[in-house]
Amino acid sequence: MPTGMRTNGSWPLSDARRRAADIAFLDYVFGGLTVAETGGWEFTEPGLKYSRSVFFENPTGGDSIHGCFTVVFVAYDSASVYGAYAIVDGHEIGSCATCIAAPSPP
């Protein structure tokens, strides 16, 4: 059976991972930046990461600030979140409130 068709509980793995990634994103604290807009989730199967573009309001009123948000899963066949992190201008920002381990990727 293809990886995306395996089930995690009653949901196909890709659906369960998308839901888990959405929750990690909603629970993430972006270090004082305000999310203005996001892109869709990008991922490769099999894989451990889901990533999306994030655009933040610019505190000085200029163009929005672009970043990337990534969720890391504990295993190839799991929707359990290992960690999550956000990168803006090459620096990690914020913190993951729902992670079960350190926020840096394995």
d(CA 5, CA 26): 26
Mean pLDDT to the nearest integer, 66-89: 95
Tokens of 96: 């993951």
* pLDDT, tens digit (0-9, with 9 covering 90-100), for 12-28: 999 999 999 999 999 99
Tokens of 80: 């359990």
d(CA 24, CA 18): 10
Question: 75: buried, middle or exposed (CB in 10 Å: 19+, 13-18, 0-12)?
Answer: exposed
Confidence of residue 103 (pLDDT cuts 50, 70, 90): very low
Could you tell me which residues are beta bridge partners of residue 92? 87
Domain ranges of the chain: 3-93
Q: How high is the pLDDT of residue 45? A: 86
Q: Is the pLDDT of residue 1 over 50?
A: no
Q: How high is the pLDDT of residue 97? A: 72
d(CA 24, CA 77): 18
Tokens of 67: 């970043």
pTM exceeds cut of 0.85:
no
Q: How high is the pLDDT of residue 100? A: 59
